[in-house]
Chains A and B, each alone.
Chain A
């Protein structure tokens, strides 16, 4: 009881001060002397009122203590997550799509009408106009149909233009902290498809954090790309939209190699040595190790500017021998610029530009010994978080590339797209997305039906 009385006295004094402050705050500019005089005439609370106030304050204290315990527990969880003691997440991505035409993003230049320069060298059927991945319908970038494409041999969906439902991915993400600042993590994906169900392990790496004072991670295995920024959110649970940009194929690959990532204040650095380029190998035709005699070196430098919650601008590049070639003198290189703006008055934006070359090798017909590839591309993605659940977005992307392999094929890919979509975060573990993409062929290529409506419902475990 004595304790209550002491508390009561303290509370009286505290409330009086609070009232003064409140009055001063709510009546700015009023005379201080009159406020003091007003407090002097106020009668003291009765013992009953005091007891009621004490009970009320005790309840508040209990509530705050409870919240403090929750916060402390949460902080402990966050601390544990940072060191990956163990995690296991399962996600399922299902969707529906409809793609105009035959479902593919390419047409043959029959008769060499549009690209007569290939007449007599490459069959018109194998002079492909458009982009074979422009009709992607899911986060993996799978086109609804590969049509007669000669480079993209795995026609995993083969819709022939028919709308359908699809289980895009069943994913399992696992990780464990092993001690000594070492952890392992992996991502395995099952893709139920017509014919054979596909199993892919896009990520599997060991991470080492050698310094406690610096945010430095060294990883080895099948690791994330270091080029650009789109790779960071390419899997269905993390991707804002449904489909990747037209340039994701060059920056979202997960090569075999070793890399280091350092974050120091506003500066982020990442770089590594890899057995191959950082193209998305899901679309590469040969079932072999994508490697050459020397490693490919790649890096990314990023600086954060104080705009919104941060405007990160970066530059990245890669260079090395061309994949799958015996001669290290056949080179490939890639450069890119990126910018990512977070939460400027509720707006987010990402923009990237890439350019690159695979040199190829010629014996008698251009690029017959090794395929040649030149490419440029860019995208801008803008979204607005309207509330905690609804985020509409717009993306414009473009790609211009020529990919030739002897008399086997040439792709003249010159495409611009516009995508509008909406992202619904229904709960922490359930996402729904819908988007429509307009494809527009450039460089005199005839316009053909290849627009896409696609949806995705992603459900993940905690």
Chain B
């Protein structure tokens, strides 16, 4: 027979057990995330399908895209020329570089000519790595920072950059051929009617490039298909949003927020590149480069703004050690610290990055169009 004190005590203990039993634990998803966290990331990385024909009213989207695709492969845009204004005349046959030269359609639209080097322009190597043109519409929906230093605000601005710098030519080439090449003149008229030739050309490029997008296994996973990723890639996703802290900068549907940051990448070669700091004049941006999208990253090496790193594993090692110690301008972002990743973490992370690879875009978009009567520019 227990005394009243014992009864009180054991009632108390039992009540405590019952209360504690009500403190149920939330199960983790894949051992890493709470359901709320997974839902958060699925929402963050999800992107709705875009309408590639989201162009100004009155523009014939298909004709514009066809024109854009033809211009994309046209080396005449890099012709040298003489004169100015209406007297401008390109020197036929001098151009050797088209957009496709540095954005290889069969190489995920990057410069594939030198596997571990920066892009080669018309006459010389550029200082910076050619970025892929895939998922351009997604990028344009998220940011107005284009190129590595973020100083170009539209895709059209980048077209001008490409023609004048990488192709060492003049934008007047575009207007000239749109007016003097019958095929282009017809397409341009059908697409835009009366319009400024160069502005129309920008829209034509947009219409074409917006079609260069695909779906990756990660997109399927984000949309709720738990089987879309391998076990390694799922663990790698956990590293990406967790111990790797990659998601702090590579966030959003593009897996990149396009904000300039100094990650401490040692300068390539002797030429100093101050990045965004030289473009916007802000000392805080010295040595900072735009955080790019990671979509298709496994297919778009070499990496970093000047192609300093040849492989994904080299990039992961770079972040594991907290970036380079010296030989870069400016001050490294304080979040660039050595990461405590295991070799397994690194392998899993690489598997995840591979899962960001889109299926190749349709072959018809990766080749030069050769409509009837197209003339000498078709093979």
Contacts and interface: CB of A to CB of B under 8 A. Distances in A.
Given A123-B335, A148-B243, A420-B17, A447 B5 contact: no
Contacts of A438: 20-21, 23
Interface string B309-353: 000000000000000000000000011010010000000000000
A447 B247 contact: no
Nearest to B14: A420
Interface of B: 5-6, 9, 12-13, 16-17, 19-21, 23-26, 28, 32-34, 36-37, 40-41, 44, 241-245, 247-248, 334-335, 337, 340
Q: Ordered nearest first, which 5 A-B pairs have the shortest CB separation? A: A438-B20, A123-B245, A440-B23, A111-B40, A449-B25
5 contacts: A101-B25, A126-B245, A384-B5, A447-B24, A447-B26
Contact of A394 (B12, B242, B247, B335): B12
B37 A113 contact: yes
A407 B249 CA distance: 14
A392 interface: yes
Given A100-B25, A111-B41, A111-B44, A446 B36 contact: yes
Contacts of A384: 5-6, 9
A406 to B, nearest CB: 7
A268 interface: no
A100 B242 CA distance: 21
B316 to A, nearest CB: 16
A126 to B, nearest CB: 7
A124 B23 contact: no
Contact of A345 (B5, B32, B242, B335): B5
B340 A148 contact: yes
Given A123-B335, A148-B340, A394-B13, A111 B28 contact: no
A448 interface: yes
B242 A346 contact: no
A306 B19 CA distance: 34
B25 A448 contact: yes
Given A113-B36, A407-B334, 17 more contacts: A107-B34, A110-B33, A111-B40, A113-B34, A123-B248, A124-B241, A124-B245, A124-B248, A384-B9, A386-B6, A396-B16, A406-B334, A407-B335, A420-B17, A440-B20, A446-B36, A448-B28
Interface in A422-440: 438-440
A108 interface: yes
Contacts of B20: 418, 438, 440
A305 interface: no
A374 B326 CA distance: 37
A420 B16 contact: yes
A156 interface: no
Interface string A89-133: 000000000001100000110110110000000011110000000
A39 interface: no
Determine the interface band of chain A, counting residues with CB < 8 A from chain B: 35 or more
Contacts of A439: 23
Interface in A361-409: 365, 368, 384, 386, 392, 394, 396, 406-408
Contact of B13 (A107, A111, A392): A392
Nearest to B21: A438
Q: Most B CB atoms within 10 A — which of A126, A347, A368?
A: A126
Given A123-B248, A124-B241, A447-B26, A111 B37 contact: yes
B334 A447 contact: no
B91 to A, nearest CB: 51
Contacts of A449: 25, 28
B258 to A, nearest CB: 14
Nearest to B23: A440
B34 A446 contact: yes
Contacts of A448: 25-26, 28, 34
A247 B21 CA distance: 24
Nearest to B334: A407
Contacts of B335: 123, 407
B242 A125 contact: yes
Contacts of A420: 13, 16-17
A208 B26 CA distance: 55
A418 B16 contact: yes
A17 B78 CA distance: 134
Contacts of A111: 37, 40-41, 44, 241, 247
A36 B251 CA distance: 105
A110 B17 CA distance: 31
Contacts of A346: 5
A406 B33 CA distance: 25
A408 to B, nearest CB: 8
Q: Most B CB atoms within 10 A — which of A111, A124, A438?
A: A111
A125 B248 CA distance: 9
B263 to A, nearest CB: 14
A340 to B, nearest CB: 19
A384 B12 CA distance: 12
Contacts of B34: 107, 113, 446, 448
Contacts of A447: 23-26
A110 B26 contact: no
A351 to B, nearest CB: 16
